[in-house]
Amino acid sequence: MAQTVALYSVKGGVGKTASTVNLAALSAAAGRRVLVWDLDPQRAASWYLQAEPSAERPVKKLLKPKGIAKAVRPTIHNHLWVLPALPGQQAIEHHLADKKDAGYRLAKLLDPLTDQFEEIWIDAPPGLSLLADNVLRAADMVLVPMVPTHLSERTWYQLKQHLDERKIHPEHLRTYLALVDRRRRMHREFRERHRHDIPELLETEIPYASVVERMGEDQQPSVYREPRHPANQAYRALWEEIDALFA
């Protein structure tokens, strides 16, 4: 059975998609059969993996087991597949609302895929919504990038409150610092201030780096293109830290 990891944040602009693609790519490089499901309406993960859909498929069909299986595509990278975002994917929320199992539909759709893949990485849409709740219920691990700022810290506690209210309890809920700029005092001091009151905070920090931003130009995981770059070494350390939780 596949392990399912959802990269999620209440707010956008926290490096969520780049982390999804790079962490999944590291698992694929380790020889595992890996699927990336791009559920973010910006469709950036599909772009990074050169896997935007070649033909439009009705979003409604994506919510059926056969439809989701047919939408899976191989990437140019070994052991790495993608379920690309579809044009008009934001309408998925409306189709979900019509289902009797609206809050659990995605988990049921993933069932047949868990036999085909060893890991499924979901680039979840930002915000608190029915679709996000589906992702949060379906994931074995919810991994939350947190920029070391007061606003990002606030959204972390909003998420925890939301999970409690909806009685959503993923097996693993973890957060990590992303887009860290060590030149900024707030960024340097953030971990020390929250070392004890955020026990879910992982040790690895992902620095802000232009090599990650260039993924949009090169359309490939930065961990493949420049594996020795400090930012990509940080992704590997984060991947190892996550992997140890499933051991």
Nearest to 202 by CA among 142, 124, 139: 142
Q: What is the pLDDT of residues 67-85, one digit of tens each?
A: 777 888 999 999 999 998 8
Long-range contacts made by residues 233-237, C-beta under 8 angstroms, separation at least 24? 234/204, 234/205, 234/206, 234/207, 235/19, 235/22, 235/23, 235/26, 235/206, 236/26, 237/204
What average pLDDT score do residues 115-119 get? Answer: 93
For residue 88, is pLDDT > 80?
no
Backbone angles phi, psi at 63, to 5 degrees: -90, 15
Chain-centroid distance, C-alpha 34:
13
Q: Name the band, by pLDDT with cuts 50, 70 and 90, for residue 100.
A: low
Strand 119-123 versus strand 3-7 pairing type: parallel
Q: What is the pLDDT of residues 122-136, one digit of tens each?
A: 999 888 888 889 899
Q: What is the pLDDT of residues 7-45, one digit of tens each?
A: 999 988 899 999 999 999 999 999 999 999 999 888 899
For residue 96, is pLDDT > 60?
yes
- C-beta atoms surrounding 115 within 10 Å: 8
pLDDT at 152: 87
Give, to the nearest 10 degrees, the angle between helix 150-166 and helix 130-138. Answer: 80
Q: Name the band, by pLDDT with cuts 50, 70 and 90, for residue 121.
A: very high
Q: Name the band, by pLDDT with cuts 50, 70 and 90, for residue 63.
A: low
Ranges of each domain in the chain: 3-242
Q: Which residues pair with 122 in a beta bridge?
A: 6, 37
Backbone angles phi, psi at 30, to 5 degrees: -80, 0
CATH class of this structure's domain 3-242: alpha beta
Q: What is the pLDDT of residues 197-247, one digit of tens each?
A: 899 999 999 999 999 999 989 999 999 999 999 999 999 999 999 999 998
Instruction: Indicate yes or no: pTM above 0.95.
Output: no
pLDDT at 60: 63
